[in-house]
Chain A
Amino acid sequence: MDLNKIDKTIITTLTTDARTPFRKIARELDVSPDTISNHFEKLQKLGVIIGSTVVLNTEKIGYTSIVRFGFKVKPTFSSEILSNIIKIPSIIVATKLMGEFDIIALGVIKDFNHLFKLRDEFVKMPNIEKVDISIWIKTMSLKSKYFII
């Protein structure tokens, strides 16, 4: 996909502050706000920009840690299972993998009871063969744009 200078500037600017007014980006690039607006819409249509969100400080809202779940699933079921996993509250990111696990998911937990409840939800889901759990402590997020943590 060919992204030009305008597209790249829009992406970089909005990654750090999604609320940046288009006027401001336009001034930097010496183009009209409409041009920025059109490019932004194009990037959304092409699926480069999927959406925008607010980045929360998980600790401040009562979450104590991040948990990484690794799933082994029955062949051909991974897409269906993935779409169910991302609906579960507290799961903040999930994707298919190549390797030991078929799906990886990251969740935020409040305490151990919360973790057990989450695990029980996965155990109830059909066609999951194994759930591996690892608790992340002292997580350092170096690039939050893809992980919102």
Chain B
Amino acid sequence: MCLVLMDEIDKKIIRILQNDARTPFKHIAEETNVSRDTINNRFERMIQDKIISGTTIILDSKKSEDGLFAFIGVKTKMSDSDVVLEKIKEIPGICSISRAIGEYNIEGIFLGKSMEEMIQIKEQIKNISNILDVVVEVFVDSPLLCPKNFEFD
């Protein structure tokens, strides 16, 4: 792991953008008492250093017609988990997938446009060979994102 040094200005830029990624740099410049160009350079540098991967909007998945989310937990034999993970990754609708240390060895989150589509995704996963068990749990609401909870020190 390579840690990148960030100073107070960098941190302030991130904190402001966590709240509202569209905040004009001019406004951040006033808050931090530096020039607009400095903010711009710092922002570009943090993107180059890959501290910042990008900016995005937070959507309510139900209202934006994207559908429903579900948690998925998969049990495989230890030796099969990498192969199974690669296959799950290819299924459309998978948002995030990880090896996991816990009750399941693979866990992730997927998105389906309707209940039917979610069942289809589950069936697709179940059809992968070497899977011992699959558990799917549907999110009741859109997930609540809390980007401001990221702390740095």
Main secondary structure of the interface of A (DSSP, over half): mixed
Q: Is the CB of A140 within 8 A of B89?
A: yes
Contacts of A56 in B (CB 8 A): 14, 51-53, 150
Cα distance, A89 to B2, chains bound together (Å): 23
- Does any Cβ of B come within 8 Å of A73's Cβ? no
Q: Which residues of B contact A51 (CB under 8 A)?
A: 19-20, 57-58
Stretch at the interface among A23-31, A121-129, A141-149: A141-149
- B135 in contact with A60 (CB, 8 Å): no
Q: Mark B5-42, 1 if CB is under 8 A from A, else 0.
A: 01000000010011111100000000000000000000
Interface centre among B20, B63, B109, B151 (most CB of A within 10 A): B109
**A15 lies within 8 A of chain B by Cβ:** yes
Shortest beta-carbon distance from A44 to chain B in Å? 9
19 intermolecular pairs with C-beta atoms under 8 Å apart: A49-B57, A49-B64, A51-B58, A52-B58, A53-B145, A54-B54, A54-B147, A56-B51, A57-B50, A57-B52, A60-B2, A62-B152, A98-B137, A99-B136, A104-B139, A134-B100, A137-B100, A140-B89, A145-B59
Residues of B within 8 A of A (CB): 1-4, 6, 14, 17-22, 49-61, 63-65, 69, 71, 89, 94-104, 107, 109, 111, 135-147, 149-152
